[in-house]
C-alpha cells in the first residue's frame, strides 16, 4: 500500500526542526552577496554555478559534503552577518509552516576580533527574534488562527578542531600546546558549557548543549566534564552519535553525557559495528538499547537526506532505519540538518519519509507532534504544554479542512 498524503497538507501543517545547523542553512543568494562584500572567493558568482560546483543534491563522500562550510563559515565572522542569516532562517522556516526550530552552531567557530562567544550568540538571537516578531505580529497569529513561532539555541562543542578554523581555536591550541589534543578539545567544550549556563541565566534562549564533528576516534565520553557541567546546571543535552559510529557511541552519549536526545542515530541497529569484545550478544545489546531509548523517550533527530549524502553505504531512503525506529516506538523527529548543504527543507524531509518509509496519516501526526513534544522549549513546562496543545489543535483543523474524512490508502 502506498500512502497518498498530499504535499499541500504537509506544507500547511505546523512543523518543527530540532536538528538545524545555522552555518549549513544560509540562503544561497545571501551567501553570494556576503562573500562579495567580504571578498571571500567563491567557485561561482551565480546560484546555478554554486549548486553545480558546491551545494549539490548528492555528494561522493562526507569530505565533499563538508566542503561548503568553508564558504559559509567564512562569511559568518561578522556579527551583522550572523544576525542577518539568523533572521532569514526564521523567515524561511515560517514561510513553509515551521513553527519551532532549535538552531545549533559552534560559537567558537565565529569568534573574531569584533566579538567573543557571548557576542556571537547575542547576534544570532537578535536576528532570530526579529524574524519571529514578524511572524508573531501577523493577523493570523494575533487572531488565534495560526500558532506563534518559537525558537531555541543549541551551542555545539567540537570533537576536534585546528588552528585555522577560528582565532579562538588557534588561541587555545597555542596556550595548551604541550597538552594532549583530547585534553585541549575537552577544555574548549567545558568553556563553552560554562558560557551556555551564563547565557541561559542571563535570559538568552540557550536550551541545550551539543557535540558535533568527526565521530569515529573522538568519543563523546572525552567531553564528559562539559556535559556534567551542563547537566548540573539544568541545560538539556544532545549529542551527534550513531552517525558514523555504532550503537556503543549512542550508549556512551546517554550514560556519560546524559543525552536527552540523539543527533542522527543512523547506525542504532548496526549490531555488526559493535567493537567492545565484552559485548558477546550484540543483537541483544542493540535490542536493549533501543528499548531503553523508547522507554526513556530519548528522542532521535533524524535527517534522511543528509544521511544519504554523507553515508555511502546508505543507498536509499527505503533502506534508512527511520521506518524501524517508528516501528519500535521511538520518539522520532524529522529534521533537515543543513538546509543549504543538503538542498532541503522540513516539508521535503517529511514528504520523503512519508513516501519511502510508508508512513500513514496517523504516524505522520505522531512524528510531527513528537517534534514539538521532544523540543527543549525555552520556557516553563506549562507554557510548552500550551504551545504543543495549540499545535495539535491547528494540525487537526488543517486535517479537517484539507483532508476531509481522512486520507485513503491506495494500491501501489
Domains of the chain as residue ranges with CATH: 2-410 (3.20.20.140)
48 is catalytic: no
Provide the pLDDT for residue 87: 98
Mean pLDDT by 10 residues, the chain (412 residues): 79 98 98 97 97 94 91 96 98 98 98 93 98 96 96 97 94 96 97 98 98 87 97 98 90 97 96 94 97 97 96 91 97 98 98 95 96 97 98 96 63 33
User: How far, in Å, CA of 75 to CA of 24, rounded?
Assistant: 12
Quote the pLDDT of residue 305. 97
Radius of gyration of the chain (CA): 21
pLDDT score recorded for residue 1: 41
- Whole-number pLDDT of residue 405: 53
**DSSP class of 64:** H
Q: Is 39 exposed, middle or buried (0-12, 13-18, 19+ CB in 10 A)?
A: exposed
Q: Which residues of 53-86 are buried (b: 16+ CB within 10 A; e: fewer)?
A: ebbbeebeeeeebbbbbebbbbbbbbbebbbbbb
Supply the pLDDT for residue 217: 82
Residue 213: exposure state from Cβ atoms within 10 A (0-12, 13-18, ≥19)? middle
409-410 and 2-3 strand pairing:
antiparallel
Q: Specify the pTM.
A: 0.95
Per-residue pLDDT, 213: 87
Q: Which three cell numbers stand for residue 33?
A: 552577496
Which residue in 88, 102, 215, 243 is the catalytic one? 243
pLDDT at residue number 195: 98
pLDDT value, residue 408:
43
Question: Cell triple for residue 169?
Answer: 581555536
Amino acid at each position: 500500500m502506498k500512502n497518498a498524503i498530499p504535499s499541500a497538507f504537509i506544507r500547511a501543517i505546523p512543523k518543527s526542526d530540532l536538528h538545524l545547523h545555522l552555518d549549513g542553512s544560509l540562503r544561497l543568494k545571501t551567501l553570494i552577496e556576503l562573500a562579495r562584500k567580504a571578498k571571500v572567493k567563491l567557485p561561482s558568482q551565480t546560484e546555478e554555478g554554486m549548486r553545480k560546483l558546491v551545494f549539490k543534491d548528492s555528494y561522493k563522500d562526507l569530505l565533499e559534503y563538508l566542503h561548503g562550510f568553508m564558504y559559509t563559515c567564512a562569511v559568518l565572522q561578522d556579527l551583522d552577518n550572523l544576525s542577518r542569516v539568523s533572521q532569514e532562517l526564521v523567515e524561511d522556516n515560517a514561510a513553509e509552516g515551521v513553527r519551532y526550530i532549535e538552531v545549533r552552531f559552534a560559537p567558537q567557530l565565529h569568534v573574531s576580533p569584533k566579538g567573543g562567544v557571548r557576542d556571537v550568540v547575542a547576534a544570532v538571537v537578535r536576528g532570530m527574534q526579529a524574524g519571529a516578531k514578524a511572524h508573531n505580529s501577523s493577523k493570523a497569529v494575533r487572531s488565534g488562527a495560526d500558532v506563534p513561532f518559537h525558537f531555541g539555541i543549541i551551542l555545539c562543542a567540537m570533537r576536534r578542531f585546528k588552528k585555522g578554523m577560528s582565532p579562538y581555536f588557534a588561541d587555545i591550541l597555542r596556550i595548551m600546546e604541550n597538552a594532549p589534543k583530547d585534553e585541549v578539545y575537552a577544555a574548549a567544550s567545558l568553556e563553552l558549557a560554562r558560557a551556555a549556563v551564563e547565557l541561559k541565566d542571563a535570559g538568552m534562549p540557550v536550551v541545550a548543549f551539543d557535540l558535533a564533528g568527526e565521530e569515529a576516534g573522538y568519543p563523546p565520553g572525552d567531553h564528559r566534564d562539559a556535559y556534567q557541567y551542563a547537566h548540573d546546571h539544568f541545560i538539556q543535552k544532545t549529542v551527534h552519535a550513531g552517525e558514523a559510529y555504532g550503537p556503543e557511541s549512542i550508549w556512551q552519549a546517554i550514560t556519560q553525557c546524559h543525552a536527552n536526545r540523539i543527533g542522527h542515530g543512523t547506525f542504532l541497529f548496526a549490531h555488526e559495528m559493535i567493537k567492545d569484545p565484552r559485548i558477546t550478544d550484540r543483537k541483544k545489546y542493540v535490542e536493549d538499547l533501543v528499548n531503553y531509548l523508547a522507554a526513556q523517550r530519548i528522542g532521535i533527530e533524524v535527517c534522511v537526506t543528509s544521511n544519504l549524502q554523507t553515508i555511502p553505504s546508505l543507498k536509499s531512503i527505503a533502506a534508512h532505519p527511520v521506518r524501524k525506529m517508528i516501528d519500535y516506538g521511538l520518539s522520532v523527529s524529522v529534521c533537515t540538518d543543513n538546509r543549504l548543504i543538503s538542498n532541503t527543507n522540513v516539508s521535503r524531509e517529511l514528504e520523503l519519509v512519508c513516501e519511502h518509509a510508508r508512513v500513514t496519516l496517523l504516524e505522520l501526526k505522531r512524528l510531527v507532534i513528537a517534534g514539538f513534544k521532544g523540543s527543549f522549549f525555552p520556557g516553563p513546562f506549562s507554557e510548552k504544554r500550551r504551545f504543543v496543545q495549540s499545535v495539535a489543535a491547528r494540525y487537526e483543523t488543517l486535517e479537517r479542512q484539507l483532508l476531509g474524512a481522512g486520507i485513503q490508502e491506495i494500491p501501489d
